[in-house]
Amino acid sequence: MTAESMLVPGVEALRAAFGGAVLRQTVSCGDSIVTVDRDRAHEVLAWLKETPGQEFDYLTDITAVDYRDPERALEVVYQLRSLGRRVDLRIKVPLDKSQPLEVDSVWDLWKGADWLEREVYDLFGVVFKGHPDLRRILMWETYAEGHPLRKDFPLRGNFSRAEQTRQALAANPEAHYSMEELSIADAFDELPDDMKRRLAQGERGEIR
């Protein structure tokens, strides 16, 4: 049997409906993978979710892959499942690193994408356009070292432990608190005057 014939049913229909937007279709270890163009990714995912006969109603996972080859595009990976048809389909969206890493958010299709997209944004720096609350989720808010799961991010981080300690000690006190904590203190009129003044001047500072 050729690799083509083991693709999950429906991939041919996807190709017929979107033509040039479907860049590649492969099978790896029995999983069907379809690579689609970034600009039409949201359209393809919405079509897969809503078209009768496709019904990929369950978003298993969103993640991204940064390859060891620095020339190769970063890929955003959507793991879809049709609960009724019991088939899985993986959609990959390559993002060229020479351009801004942006793709449309699928939060409007699956609410489960909320935290998954935030995680990909946090760890890979991919911006999901249209996400209502795109901010870091696992790393802290003022983390400025970069995006840890990118291959150009060294395992031990960009700064030595001594450098991190030095920066933490030299930072303004308000840099140690998240915006939520600062706003809670502000709401209860407990923010010291010097902190208020520095915040008003935009000098919150960062802890790396």
Partner 1 sequence: MTTRTLEMALATPGLDPSGRPARLPLRPKKGSDDEFGAEHMLVNIGPQHPATHGVLRLVLELEGETVKRCIPHVGYLHSGFEKLGEYRHYNQIIPLTDRTDYLSPMANNVCLALAAEKLMGIEITERCQVLRVIACEMSRIISHLVWLGTTGIDLGAFTPFLWSFYQRERIYNLQEAWTGARLTTSLTRIGGMMADVPEGWEAGLREFCRTFPDTLNEVDTMFTRNSIWCGRTQGVGAMTAAEAINYSLSGPMLRASGVAYDVRKDRPYLGYESYDFDVPVGEYGDIYDRYRVRLEEMYQSNRILEQALDRLARLAGAPVNTADHRVILPPKHRAMSDMEAMIHHFKQVMEGVAAPPGEAYLGIENPKGELGYYFVSDGTAKPVRWRIRPPSFINLACLPKLCEGALLSDVIAINASVDIVMGEIDR
Q: How far is the CB of 43 from partner 1 (least distance, A)?
A: 19
Choices 37-45, 77-85, 94-102, 160-168; region in contact with partner 1 by CB under 8 A: 77-85
Q: Are 3 and 24 in contact (CB under 8 A)?
A: no
Cα four-point dihedral sign 65, 37, 95, 117: negative
Give the list of residues 6+ apart from residue 193 with CB closer than 8 angstroms, or none. Answer: none
Give the C-alpha distances (Å, rounded to integers) separating 67 from 51, 110, 118, 182. 33, 27, 20, 39
Q: How far is CA 6 from the centre of its chain?
A: 29
Please report whether residue 133 would count as binding partner 1 according to CB under 8 A.
yes
Q: How far is the CB of 16 from partner 1 (least distance, A)?
A: 26
Write the DSSP symbol of residue 73.
P
Please report whether residue 114 would count as binding partner 1 according to CB under 8 A.
yes
Q: How far is the CB of 113 from partner 1 (least distance, A)?
A: 8
Please report whether residue 127 would count as binding partner 1 according to CB under 8 A.
no
Q: Which of 53, 70, 71, 155 binds partner 1 (CB under 8 A)?
A: 155
**99: Cα within 13 Å, side-chain hemisphere:** 8
Nearer Cβ to partner 1 (170/184): 184
Please report whether residue 43 would count as binding partner 1 according to CB under 8 A.
no
Give the C-alpha distances (Å, rounded to integers) separating 47 from 13, 53, 60, 94, 109. 11, 11, 17, 19, 10
Q: Which of 3, 184, 192, 206 binds partner 1 (CB under 8 A)?
A: 184
The contact set with partner 1 (CB under 8 A) reads 28-31, 33, 57-61, 63, 65-68, 77, 79, 83, 86, 88, 90, 110-116, 119, 123, 132-141, 148-149, 153, 155, 178-180, 182-184, 186-188, 196, 199-202
